[in-house]
Structure 1
Amino acid sequence: MSLYQRRAALKERIPGGLDGRRMLWIALVDKTGAGLWAATAALYFTYVTGLSVAQVGILVAVSAGIGIAGAPIAGRIADRLPLTRVLIAMQVQRAAAGLALLATDDYALLIGISAVASVGDRAANVLTKLYAARITGPDRVRYQAVNRTVSNGGFAIGGLAAATALGIGTTLAYQSLLVGNAVASLAAALLTLRCGEAPSPTRIVTGSGAGAPAARPASPWRDRTYLFYTASETVLFLDDAVFKVGLPLWIVHATDAPHGLAPLLLVLNNVMVVALQIPLARYGATTQAAVRLLLPLAAAFAAGALAMSLSAVHGAWIATAALVAAAALLTLAEILHATVSWELSLALAPDEAQGAYLGAHGLAQASQRSIGPLVMTAVIAAGPAGWALLGAGLAATCLAQHRLVRDHLPVPALSVPPATVSHK
């Protein structure tokens, strides 16, 4: 097969056509910039702006808490306005906020600017997900797997570049990372300008029937099933806090494993996501398949947490082996949950209110960013029993979610959404 034929075959395997491929480039650029900043934000505020550790903690917590509002607000707006224009506005907002951080050392202003950036970040995540759902239709699970793989690659590239700058350690080096993140957001906005607008069931439906009163749109805040589902998602998204907070602190304070193992396990997590997200996505390609996937997800969470408990035994080799097993199992859980969450968050949402519902669902991941570190510190304080309890809680949440969505989805429930408009 020639190079041209291989490239053509690859394009055919990416759902969403030309706009789908453009969004993947946008994800790569955007997440590369995010990787630059995420790895160095705390150090920037410490060494460049001169904040204390406590001040940095408060800044991160407050800005993340305010940023939670970005998801539902953006989702609601995207049901009424052209989605790509709203996404561009959020990308520009993030870039402007990033550059504004360079202009001040005032603590109150730093909190306010960081909150603005956080709102834009959470909003952009929801809008990107909604756009993918609208342009990929029945292939949305496979597309999300490709998108997540590309995004992890971008984070890795950004993280490696950040590590180089940290090795230099100068104020200019830190500032260059902040500028790089802002430039990446602006580049993503420019690339989004080239994307076609996806069809919106809301704007099509409410515009039909001259003189007829518009029906009251469905709201996730009146949908108890969706609210319960979102609440359970907040628990399952704790895998993020496990890798970013729990695992490094546990290795240092409770095991005989070498401290250098912590970054290596994060590399293992990233490599597994890149290698397995796409192949495993086919097991959740329909709504019913995604529901069934909740059972092995419960087992993966429980086994991973149990391995974390066992890593507290004496002996560096045994602790290291247990931690590697735990990281692999919890990464598998992360991959399975990403597939399940992507499908069910859309399957439970009415077509005419996908933006509002995905915005509400975005609260789960945003809320976890605030409460996750607190949960991890409590788990570590409780010792091995804390990990066992966490694993039991995660597994029980998966089983409860399985029953909740199974009883509230039509049968058969396919991933293919009903067509509301033809693509021309």
Structure 2
Amino acid sequence: MTKTRRAARTAHTSARTHRVLLAAQLGNSVGDGAFYVTSALYFSRVVGLSAAQIGAGLAVAWGIGSIAGVPLGHLADRRGPRRSAVLLALATSVAVASFLLIRSFVPFLLAAAVYATAQSGLAAARQALLAGLVEPGARVGTLARLQATLNAGLAVGAALGGLALSSGTRTAYFAVFALDALGFLVCALLLRGLPALPGTPAVPGEGPRLVVLRDRPYAVLTLLNALLLLRLPLLSLVLPLWIVGRTAAPGWTASALFVLNTGAVMLFQVRAARSVTGLPEATRVVGRSGLLMLASCAVFALTAAGLGPWPTVAFLVLGAVLQVVAEMWHSAGSWQIGLALAPADRIGQYQGFYGTGVPVARTLGPLLVTTLLIGWGVAGWLVLGGIFLAAGLATGPAVRWAERARSRAAAPVAGEPVKAY
């Protein structure tokens, strides 16, 4: 086979891989969008759980899921990421379907724990699969397209969930959960069509299996990433409460800001990621994202100044624009950092650990952020902005620390123990 034919065949395989990854992302994100907007009311009105039970159950479930992400990522490294991703997508589908059968708190807690565990493991396995199928220079661009596709799917799913909410019937809720379960089943079938990647067998005497837990620079980067992810509860939880309780803006502004955020990520995430081609660029955009989040928080704080409805709306839109630009920069930079600093044979467990920032931000973030912003008001916004700025600026030194640690720890040969960083 000539070089030209080989190159053409490689390009065709790469294009097909991208299409399958995007289709799999779209398949489960539509169902997830519908699930997110209806699940709380389903568990309350259909299952009969109290708000306290739902909140506590989900917090415990996501806590279990965040812990399980590392060993499941390690399993993906050992058994092969495609096989693991397919099995975990199937497990997620079964967990969602099981919600249709529960009628009390304990089964809800068990099903939610399986759901969160499978989701956390699936995220790590998919990252390892992408890293094995996509060239390093194209990974951030591919992840940006996946993020844009995710937002598009969530938007479509949220619209479908809205129809179920307007109906309010048990059948409508059941249809939403069935759609989400079907979406993960489709995701599993699509991922199964990708090329199989071999796992990395264990080497006798190689040292601790979960070496990421001893990698101090990577742990610091994971913590900083989790702090930057405290932006997650802002649009969905805090801003609606802030707008209604502290500003003169109409209540529908919160919904408009959510649509603005989702649409901007769909349209511009790929463009925002183009400049991130290595760790230096990644650290710069993460630092800028922290600075921009500080500016966004300051603008949101101004909306409590009694400016009148329409000037307040204008400031809220400005704050939301600054936030979504910061979000896109942070996403692109964090993808590059999380993948580039993970050893090639341990991407699953490293991504499982790095990905704990999302469930931590979603479980602990609402309590922290609402305490700061709703309890402290304007001062809380400035404190939160300072946290974002500090985390963004600290990312650069932490990345350089991780690079120095890796340069000192030479790659071990077979039979040598893996060195902790």
Query: What does residue range 305-320 of structure 1 map to in structure 2 within 5 Å?
Result: 305-314=297-306, 315-320=308-313
Deviation of 1:214 (Å): 5.6
2:352 to 359, 365, 386: 359
Is 2:172 aligned against 1:173?
yes
Q: Which digits, 9 at most, give the CA deviation of each residue in 1:206-243, with x for residues without a partner? A: 68xxxxx5633671111111111111111011111112
> Which position in structure 1 is the counterpart of 2:412?
none
> Which position in structure 2 is the counterpart of 1:399?
393
Q: 1:15 to 1:252 in 2, by over 3 A?
A: farther
The answer to whether the 8 Å contact 1:134/1:199 transfers is no
The answer to whether the 8 Å contact 1:15/1:143 transfers is no
Q: Which digits, 9 at most, give the CA deviation of each residue in 1:250-280, with x for residues without a partner? A: 1121111100111111000001101110011
The answer to whether the 8 Å contact 1:20/1:132 transfers is no
Distance of 2:68 and 2:240 partners within structure 1: 29
Deviation of 1:286 (Å): 1.5
1:371 to 349, 360, 364: 364
Is 2:267 aligned against 1:269?
no
1:304 to 281, 296, 303: 296
> Which position in structure 1 is the counterpart of 2:403?
409
Q: Which amino acid aligns with 2:190?
A: L
The answer to whether the 8 Å contact 1:291/1:406 transfers is no
1:332 to 325, 329, 332: 325
Query: What does residue range 148-227 of structure 1 map to in structure 2 within 5 Å?
Result: 148-198=147-197, 202-203=200-201, 213=204, 215-216=206-207, 219-227=211-219
Secondary structure of the residue aligned to 1:237 is helix
2:105 to 90, 107, 111: 107
Query: What does residue range 87-98 of structure 1 map to in structure 2 within 5 Å?
Result: 87-98=85-96
Q: Which amino acid aligns with 1:57?
A: G
Distance of 2:31 and 2:63 partners within structure 1: 22
The answer to whether the 8 Å contact 2:79/2:198 transfers is no
Is 2:270 aligned against 1:278?
yes
2:128 to 120, 127, 130: 130
Distance of 2:76 and 2:363 partners within structure 1: 25
The answer to whether the 8 Å contact 1:265/1:327 transfers is yes
Distance of 1:15 and 1:149 partners within structure 2: 22
The answer to whether the 8 Å contact 2:261/2:320 transfers is yes
Distance of 1:183 and 1:352 partners within structure 2: 32
Q: 1:140 to 1:15 in 2, by over 3 A?
A: farther
Secondary structure of the residue aligned to 1:68 is helix
Identity %: 31
Secondary structure of the residue aligned to 1:342 is helix
Q: Which amino acid aligns with 1:398?
A: G
Secondary structure of the residue aligned to 2:58 is helix
> Which position in structure 2 is the counterpart of 1:59?
57
Distance of 1:323 and 1:307 partners within structure 2: 7
> Which position in structure 2 is the counterpart of 1:250?
242
> Which position in structure 2 is the counterpart of 1:387?
381
The answer to whether the 8 Å contact 1:311/1:319 transfers is yes
Deviation of 1:298 (Å): 2.0
2:340 to 347, 366, 381: 347
Distance of 1:330 and 1:199 partners within structure 2: 40
Q: Which digits, 9 at most, give the CA deviation of each residue in 1:309-336, with x for residues without a partner? A: 0111111122211111111111111111
1:234 to 226, 230, 246: 226
The answer to whether the 8 Å contact 1:15/1:140 transfers is no
Secondary structure of the residue aligned to 1:109 is helix
Q: Which amino acid aligns with 2:167?
A: I
The answer to whether the 8 Å contact 1:246/1:376 transfers is yes
Q: Which amino acid aligns with 2:377?
A: G
Distance of 1:275 and 1:387 partners within structure 2: 28
Distance of 1:37 and 1:22 partners within structure 2: 23
Q: Which digits, 9 at most, give the CA deviation of each residue in 1:122-168, with x for residues without a partner? A: 11112112211221122101111111111111111111111111111
Deviation of 1:43 (Å): 0.7
1:259 to 229, 238, 251: 251
Secondary structure of the residue aligned to 2:112 is helix
Please, what is the CA RMSD of the aligned residues? Answer: 2.2
Deviation of 1:386 (Å): 0.3
Distance of 1:153 and 1:123 partners within structure 2: 23
Deviation of 1:409 (Å): 2.2
Q: Which amino acid aligns with 1:395?
A: L
Given the two structures, how large is their TM-score scaled by the length of structure 2?
A: 0.89
The answer to whether the 8 Å contact 1:286/1:343 transfers is yes
Deviation of 1:177 (Å): 0.5
Deviation of 1:85 (Å): 1.3
Q: What are structure 2's unaligned runs of at least 5 residues?
A: 1-7, 408-421
> Which position in structure 2 is the counterpart of 1:21?
19
Deviation of 1:194 (Å): 0.9
Given the two structures, how large is their TM-score scaled by the length of structure 1?
A: 0.89
The answer to whether the 8 Å contact 2:164/2:173 transfers is yes
> Which position in structure 2 is the counterpart of 1:5?
none
Q: Which amino acid aligns with 1:356?
A: Q
